[in-house]
Structure 1
């Protein structure tokens, strides 16, 4: 009879641990600065406990990034990425909360005319990105974006910091919804 109680307690403990783990709140912090850092720093937290502290991810060099973009553009142009229309990422993205979003850029081309055009383009891209994020994610704070033109010199500096929070169980369910295979219509 005692062994039955021990087994029931172990099963209840395992169920409680799984329920706790699936309801756990995870936070991911991403930080990148150019040209000071060549790596992106990522920290992962479970509630307030740090699980992974500042893991440095190597950013690809320019040639590898251009090669990847060219390959992606080629597939897009050949209409081989039509599968992306079928995937509903909104179900997954709605589960993510953006706690902090900061992106500051400072730079110029050395010419006042082209610097002003470049700065305006950067504002447009950042504004579009913030609009997309606010439409598809839960923004908990006001995004902080800034573009500071430098009309005197040709340089580029950028600092990016983002903090994302999610519940593991809801994210797993969102991934399962995204990966759900539709029946083929006849």
Structure 2
């Protein structure tokens, strides 16, 4: 009886436990860095994944990605090309075909995702002042559309901070983006159960596909 009660309490705690995801992206000319931090149990458990180097190869239209993780202190390098992206999209389309009511399941889950922080600051400039103004205006429009999408699909708990600073005197390209999301484990588990419930056909078809990203540790 004790173990049953303990198990029920543990399951209840798992359902109400919050998961926090912090996404930080920094762009400064040719330097692109992406950091993703997942926190559990109020920050007692932290999983950090960094992409400190993202380089675009103009010759073969591929992207070199270097990543670091605090889980096992692993470091890996990989290359992503057009064929890899095509494979990813094919997998996503396969999931869309096999899961009934996929959009409803995703939208239902996203309604439980809270945005607790959103800051996006950019500095843009080229040698032409008039063209710089046009580009900055377009940047404001893009950021406004992104905020509207967030407000439509997620729960905004704060007022997003967005800023576009024009640089009229010299070429400049900088962006700093910070977004913090949180949701309860129970809502994620519920979405996963619904995905499995409405899955049609064999679940092994996607698992058996080769991973498109070749990496070496």
In structure 2, the partner of 1:22 is 15
Q: Which residue of 1 aligns with 2:135?
A: 118
Residue aligning to 1:44: 38
2:182 corresponding residue in structure 1: 165
Gaps of at least 5 residues in structure 2 are 64-79, 201-217
1:115/1:133 CA distance change after superposition, 3 Å: same
User: Is the 8 Å Cα contact of residues 40 and 46 (structure 2) preserved in structure 1?
Assistant: no
Q: Which residue pairs with 1:4 in the alignment? A: none
- 1:87 aligns to 2:98 (yes or no): no
Task: Report how many residues are paired.
Answer: 172
Q: Which residue of 2 aligns with 1:3?
A: none
Equivalent residues of 2:125, 2:173 under 8 A apart: yes
User: Cα offset for 1:182?
Assistant: 7.5
| Cα separation, partners in 2 of 1:151 and 1:86, compared to 1, 3 Å | farther
Q: TM-score, normalised by structure 1?
A: 0.76
Counterpart Cα distance in 2 of 1:156 and 1:27: 30
2:113 corresponds to which residue? 96
Report what 2:56 is aligned to. 62
**Which of these residues, 141, 145, 158, is aligned with residue 141 of structure 1?**
158
- The residue aligned with 1:33 is 26
Query: Could you tell me how far apart the structure 1 residues matched to 2:84 and 2:147 are?
Result: 25
Q: Highest Rg: 1 or 2?
A: 1
| Structure number with higher strand proportion | 2
Indicate the residue corresponding to 2:70 in structure 1.
none
Whether the aligned pair in 2 keeps the contact of 1:42 and 1:54 (CA below 8 Å) is yes
Deviation string for 1:86-133 (max 9, x for gaps)? 631211211100001100000211211211111111111100000010
Cα distance in 2 for partners of 1:116, 1:138 equals: 32
Q: What are structure 1's unaligned runs of at least 5 residues?
A: 1-7
